[in-house]
Amino acid sequence: MDQITPKPIKNFKVIGTRPLRPDGIEKVTGKAIYGADLSAPNMLYGLLLRINEPHALIENIDISFAEKLPGVKSIVTFKDFIKINPNNKYNETLENCIANEKILYDGHAVAAVAAINLKVAKKAIKLIDVKFKKLPFVINIEDAMKKDAPIVAQGKKNENIPDGFSENVVQYCSFGHGNLEEGFSESEKIIKRTFKTPSVHQGYIEPHACLASMSNEGKADLWCCTQGHYNVRSICSNIFKIDNSQLKVTASEIGGGFGGKTTVFIEPIALALSLKSGCPVKIVMSREEVFKATGPTVSSLVDVKIGMKKTGKITAAEAIIRYEGGAFPNETYELGAQSAFAAYDLKSVKTEAYNVLTNRPAQAAYRAPGAPQAIYAVESIIDELCQYFNQDPLYVRILNAAHKGTKSSYGPTFDDIGLKATLEAAKNHPHYNTPLKENQGRGVSCGFWFNFGGNTCVSLNINFDGTVGVVEGNPDIGGSRSSISQMAAEELGISLDKVKTIIADTNSLGHNDVTDGSRVTFSVGLATIKAAKAAKNELCKRAAKLWGIDEDAVIWKDGYAYPAGANAGNQEPLSLEDIAKVSSQTGGPIAGHYEVNAENAGVSFGVHLVDVETDNETGHTKILRYTAFQDAGKAIHPSYVEGQMQGGSVQGIGWALNEEYIYNNEGKLQNPGFLDYRIPVASDLPMIDPVILEIPNPGHPYGVRGVGETSIVPPLAAINNAVSRATKIRFSELPLSPPKVLNAILSKQK
Amino acid sequence: MIFAKPSSEKEAISLLNETSGMTRILSGGTDVLVQMKSGAIEPELIVDIKNIPGIKHIKAVSGGYEIGAAVSGSEFNNYPGLKDFTPGIAEAFDLIGSSQIQGRCTLAGNLCNASPAADTIPALSVSSCFAKIVGPNGFREDLVKNIPTAPGKNSLKKGEFIKSIIIPNRPDYSSDSYIRFTPRSEMDIAVVSAACFITLDKNQLIKDLKISLGAVASTVVHVDGLCDLVMDSKITDELLSKIAMICSSSCKPIDDKRGTIEFRSHVAGVLAKRAMILAHKRAGDKIEKIAR
């Protein structure tokens, strides 16, 4: 695997190496504790009653028979939550967990039971009598936007919505600059198309699970699998009207999240069942529940219009984006509008975006939320224009690429970014120049993600034996414990095996934002380095004390305190361990802390190349070769960076080829399981070849950029472009499933 | 629910016959356990047949093979000579599930579960396989193709179960094949499938041809009248196109989440053609091998 390093910034010792993952053995031997693995004395089992109707008015929920069943300890409905806190600010989040007045999607829960075992709970669920009136429903964007569409929810519409739409169109935004009309008139070819992508699920292997214990005195403990236990605390303490300090949330090991575990689905229910029964309550979702009632990503309907000169220069670009993310408002449409043209330096550009309510479960974040759908449309049109002018698709992208100083389509002006270098690496890679055979096609696409920083706290404790414990507050979904330990070891100048990083509960550190936005290696890494610097200052002070010299006459270098300056003397340098061992006599234990709301995360770009072969008789597409190029700023643990690039690519490939939420004409989900919701299996894919570039991010001491999300963005268009070139038919709707592709091939033959 | 693991046929039959509610046979459990977990079935009685003598045996019988009802996919595919004897059944059996499932799944189970998309039913059918059935009224035999009657339904009567499946002897220059279409390379379910059995003479002239199609109707479609069409001819592009057309038009598929009517009908023809080419090649190779 190639490693291209344009300008190394530092000679690292630990950074850039590939140590074994610290959590690996526990995970592969089944010892790691996941969400469903926890138990408590007198624990009850919680189960939700879900209604398989897309839209209905709840008339009555009779729990009296179920309550009388021996072994049933508590039953809750939305009414119980109203009693606790009628004005909680997470009402929409709660209403997605358990229906209030209306059932809003197929699989929406209306009640929950806690019982002594699952068998009793299952029986009790069947004894709850729900009376409801079916309502007209709406599943797809086009239908939901029409003036006479069934209304999913009243009163959600923002003031800035243009006329002519139904009340389901609730949010709108626009970005851009320049004169579009002028730009298009300068072009020599304009292509405009409408693109569609389906709703897809993150497909994490571990279903949501939690164990809750809450008392009447407003004290609660919650263990759950989540990407952000501080966020779980914020939501739940508000719903239950208790102080943050009284709800302790502990994150379990996590079997994947990809954005889908950044909110709550069962945690408030388990707390309510526990509060009402007085016993701890565990809830574990089934896979069917995960598909039906957690948060898939938005589906999309996007118009893109781009004008180009025959030289390949883009003169103007415009996108109208429509996202549907279920029955509740969300912000993903805005991220789509901002990311659509981020890869290009454009004089005239405009994006508009709408969010539309439908009778589907509320969307949740999914790896670079909102970017893949918009960029899919843009990168497909650019490829079509390249074909029209017979221009090299990478040359055209290099010609138009955003660079340092580019005013981005969404406003900010870019600092150092690695896009051009990434495109050039792709152009010079042997993959790009390998000949293709009949029925084969090569696709290219750029990808982009903003990356976030955010609220972060780290404590770094120096133990008496000279080892170091790093305490952070972000669940490790992509190997962050390893990279955090590496950064601590690097900064302190000690070996990696002396450092262990753990994830603390919500009472052990200040607030940490969710593990999302590819923020952890960047932000927690930054805080860890600063905490290590603070600890080094203290270590120098202690050395000064031991030597009886001035504090500022001691410097820290490669793990040792050295006397420095003219009058410091010639003392033997002291190691971290030497100082730690006697720290009890020099002022007590030594630690470093850092708390920050991190900024300057640095945007991330990637470029993917894919070769496919399409079977003209069945419409089946085989991925022959796949290479992903991405700027990591600095790869702390290159294997993890490669893993992120490969993982995102595979999820994007699944999205492009087979994955989709399929609803029937009764508004019911047809494929809530891994048999008919087809994520790729290993044998479907060639080795995804990752090429890491390192263009340092000026906002991080070691140059780190987040790498977790960008890689899911390019596969959609890259594969669409490859299949379009292989079949000589332009596709504009995902997934490129065999029936769809075959239908297009046969229609063309007629 | 009662779970029983009898050690004789007789005991199993009487247990099954005397229970009034839903009963299920368990050998691998790869369908039964999944259906129970999802809540689709709640049997009164489960009879595990694996303690019945002989039920896990593979035996060579009169030029063919007898496969016990509890023989797993991996046992079948690792049995010396079986894959060479019937590559079609072997590849169909091997396509079911993961390696873990391969250690459990059985031909009799696949047959009795009667899914229209079952992989081994078309393959067993074209090779004229039959089942040995025991029950309260004694022993009987029936062709595999007569056993599934509708999705999830079979022709076995109260108290009956399949003891073994017979893969009969076949002429010298014959072979078989099975191809299925799935969007994924494995861990998937057939959207369309085709099995072919072909017999040639020494001069590569076709003497027998059977094609069965899976997942294109409520039960496996056994395409009629192919023998007359191909008798004494050689395989040609023209013949293959004709066969593909006949197969496509024999389908009665549905539109569902896995495929459309048009897709299934078209691909059934494509797979029939490809399965025939493969089986023909295998049979042809035997002519060369025997001549040597």
- Domains in chain B, ordered, with CATH? 52-167 (3.30.465.10), 174-291 (3.30.390.50)
Q: Is the peptide bond before A735 cis (omega within 30 degrees of 0)?
A: yes
Asked if the C-beta of A747 comes within 8 angstroms of chain B's C-beta atoms, the answer is: no
Rounded to whole angstroms, the Cα distance separating A722 from A741 reads 13
Rounded to whole angstroms, the Cα distance separating A671 from A532 reads 49
Residue A334 resides in a domain:
no
- Residues B199-223: tens digit of each pLDDT: 999 999 999 999 999 999 999 999 9
CB within 8 Å: B257 and A671 = yes
CB within 8 Å: B183 and A746 = no
Note the pLDDT of residue A416.
Answer: 85
Note the pLDDT of residue A4.
Answer: 44
Asked if the C-beta of A390 comes within 8 angstroms of chain B's C-beta atoms, the answer is: no
Does A558 share its domain with A653? no
CB within 8 Å: B263 and A743 = yes
Q: How many CB atoms lie within 10 A of CB B48?
A: 17
Stretch B268-287: mean pLDDT: 97
Residue A250 resides in a domain:
no
Q: Nearest CB to A678: which of B184, B256, B259?
A: B184
Rounded to whole angstroms, the Cα distance separating B181 from B172 reads 29
- Residues B12-56: tens digit of each pLDDT: 999 999 999 999 999 999 999 999 988 899 999 999 999 999 999
Stretch A32-48: mean pLDDT: 97
Residues 231 through 270 of chain B touching chain A, CB cutoff 8 Å: 256-260, 262-263, 266-267, 270
Stretch B139-158: mean pLDDT: 97
Please report the number of interchain residue pairs, chain A to chain B, with beta-carbon separation below 8 angstroms. 51
Asked if the C-beta of B37 comes within 8 angstroms of chain A's C-beta atoms, the answer is: no
Rounded to whole angstroms, the Cα distance separating A448 from A603 reads 7
Rounded to whole angstroms, the Cα distance separating A659 from A646 reads 17
Note the pLDDT of residue A11.
Answer: 87
Which residue from B110, B82, B117, B104 is spatially nearest to B256, judged by alpha carbons?
A: B117
- Residues A594-645: tens digit of each pLDDT: 999 999 999 999 999 999 999 999 999 999 999 999 999 999 999 999 999 9
Stretch A250-265: mean pLDDT: 97
CB within 8 Å: A618 and B262 = no
Stretch A165-190: mean pLDDT: 98
Q: Nearest CB to A684: which of B184, B257, B260?
A: B184
Distance (Å) from the alpha carbon of B41 to chain A's nearest alpha carbon: 15
Does A542 share its domain with A673? no
Asked if the C-beta of A264 comes within 8 angstroms of chain B's C-beta atoms, the answer is: no
Note the pLDDT of residue A5.
Answer: 44
- Do A247 and A212 contact (CB within 8 A), yes or no? no
- For residue B181, list chain A residues with Cβ-Cβ distance below 8 A: 618, 620, 738
pLDDT band at A185 (very low <50, low <70, confident <90, very high): very high
Tokens 């918009």 identify what position?
A: A374
Locate the DSSP E strands across B96-220: 130-135, 138-143, 148-150, 153-154, 161-167, 174-181, 192-200, 206-214
Distance (Å) from the alpha carbon of B186 to chain A's nearest alpha carbon: 7
Note the pLDDT of residue A2.
Answer: 43
Residue A215 resides in a domain:
no
Give the chain B residue whose CA is nearest to the CA of A617: B270
Give Cβ neighbours of residue B33 (< 8 Å, ≥ 6 apart). Answer: none
CB within 8 Å: B189 and A746 = no
Q: How many CB atoms lie within 10 A of CB A31?
A: 10
CB within 8 Å: B183 and A671 = no
Does A569 share its domain with A638? no
CA-CA-CA-CA dihedral for A467, A472, A475, A478, to nearest 10: -60
Give the chain A residue whose CA is nearest to the CA of B181: A618
Asked if the C-beta of B96 comes within 8 angstroms of chain A's C-beta atoms, the answer is: no
Distance (Å) from the alpha carbon of A682 to chain B's nearest alpha carbon: 9
- The mean pLDDT value of chain A amounts to 96
Which residue from B277, B147, B272 is spatially nearest to B214, judged by alpha carbons?
A: B272
Q: How far is CA A200 from CA A228, A296, A447, A652, A653, in A?
A: 22, 6, 18, 10, 12
Domain that holds residue A443: 415-451+602-750
Does A442 share its domain with A540? no
- Do A80 and A116 contact (CB within 8 A), yes or no? no
Whether the predicted pLDDT of A10 surpasses 80: no
Does A522 share its domain with A565? yes
Distance (Å) from the alpha carbon of B183 to chain A's nearest alpha carbon: 7
**What six digits make up the tokens of A557?**
């270098």
* Structural domain count of chain A: 2
Whether the predicted pLDDT of A328 surpasses 80: yes
**What six digits make up the tokens of A264?**
């709550």
Does A493 share its domain with A423? no
- Residues A709-735: tens digit of each pLDDT: 999 999 999 999 999 999 999 999 999
Q: In a mutagenesis test of the B interface, which of A122, A289, A291, A617 is the best target, namely the one with the most B β-carbons within 10 Å? A: A617
- For residue B257, list chain A residues with Cβ-Cβ distance below 8 A: 662, 670-671, 676
Residue A708 resides in a domain:
yes
Give the chain A residue whose CA is nearest to the CA of B267: A618
Q: In a mutagenesis test of the B interface, which of A125, A666, A684 is the best target, namely the one with the most B β-carbons within 10 Å? A: A684
Asked if the C-beta of A658 comes within 8 angstroms of chain B's C-beta atoms, the answer is: yes
Does A609 share its domain with A745? yes
Domain final residue pick, A593, A621, A639: A593
Q: Nearest CB to A738: which of B185, B187, B263?
A: B263
Does A724 share its domain with A613? yes
- For residue A734, list chain B residues with Cβ-Cβ distance below 8 A: none
Which residue from A27, A18, A74 is spatially nearest to A46, judged by alpha carbons?
A: A74
Residue A140 resides in a domain:
no
Q: In a mutagenesis test of the B interface, which of A52, A284, A681, A736 is the best target, namely the one with the most B β-carbons within 10 Å? A: A681
CB within 8 Å: A681 and B186 = yes
- Residues A547-559: tens digit of each pLDDT: 999 999 999 999 9
Q: What angle do CA A413, A414, A419 make, to 5 degrees?
A: 145
Domain final residue pick, A593, A624, A645: A593
Q: How many CB atoms lie within 10 A of CB B205?
A: 15
- Do A649 and A719 contact (CB within 8 A), yes or no? no
Note the pLDDT of residue A381.
Answer: 98
Does A618 share its domain with A703? yes
Q: Nearest CB to A739: which of B185, B186, B263?
A: B263
CATH code assigned at A529: 3.30.365.10
Note the pLDDT of residue A570.
Answer: 86
Q: Is A216 left (phi over 0), alpha (psi -120 to 50) or beta?
A: alpha
Note the pLDDT of residue B246.
Answer: 98
Residue A172 resides in a domain:
no
* Torsional sign, CA A657, A658, A660, A665: positive
Q: Nearest CB to A683: which of B185, B259, B266?
A: B185
Stretch B137-156: mean pLDDT: 97
Asked if the C-beta of A737 comes within 8 angstroms of chain B's C-beta atoms, the answer is: yes
Backbone angles phi, psi at A468, to 5 degrees: -130, 130
- The mean pLDDT value of chain B amounts to 96
CB within 8 Å: B183 and A678 = yes
Q: How far is CA A377 from CA A172, A301, A478, A637, A740, in A?
A: 19, 9, 29, 33, 18
CA-CA-CA-CA dihedral for A139, A141, A145, A149, to nearest 10: -20
DSSP assigned state of B146: G
Note the pLDDT of residue B105.
Answer: 98
CB within 8 Å: B184 and A658 = yes
CB within 8 Å: A675 and B189 = yes
Residue A606 resides in a domain:
yes
Does A638 share its domain with A498? no
Cα–chain-centroid distance for residue A205? 15
Residue A217 resides in a domain:
no
Q: What is the pTM of this model?
A: 0.96
pLDDT band at A9 (very low <50, low <70, confident <90, very high): low
Q: How many CB atoms lie within 10 A of CB A162?
A: 9
Does A719 share its domain with A661? yes
Asked if the C-beta of A287 comes within 8 angstroms of chain B's C-beta atoms, the answer is: no
Residues 437 through 496 of chain A touching chain B, CB cutoff 8 Å: none
CB within 8 Å: B267 and A617 = yes
Does A428 share its domain with A551? no
- Alpha-helical regions (H) of B31-81: 32-37, 73-77
Stretch A312-329: mean pLDDT: 98
- For residue A657, list chain B residues with Cβ-Cβ distance below 8 A: 183
> What is the amino acid identity at position B36?
M
- For residue A618, list chain B residues with Cβ-Cβ distance below 8 A: 181, 267, 270
CB within 8 Å: A738 and B186 = no
Domain final residue pick, A572, A593, A614: A593
Asked if the C-beta of A687 comes within 8 angstroms of chain B's C-beta atoms, the answer is: no
Whether the predicted pLDDT of A3 surpasses 50: no
Whether the predicted pLDDT of A1 surpasses 60: no
Asked if the C-beta of B277 comes within 8 angstroms of chain A's C-beta atoms, the answer is: no
- For residue A742, list chain B residues with Cβ-Cβ distance below 8 A: 263, 266-267
- Residues B103-138: tens digit of each pLDDT: 999 999 999 999 999 999 999 999 999 999 999 999
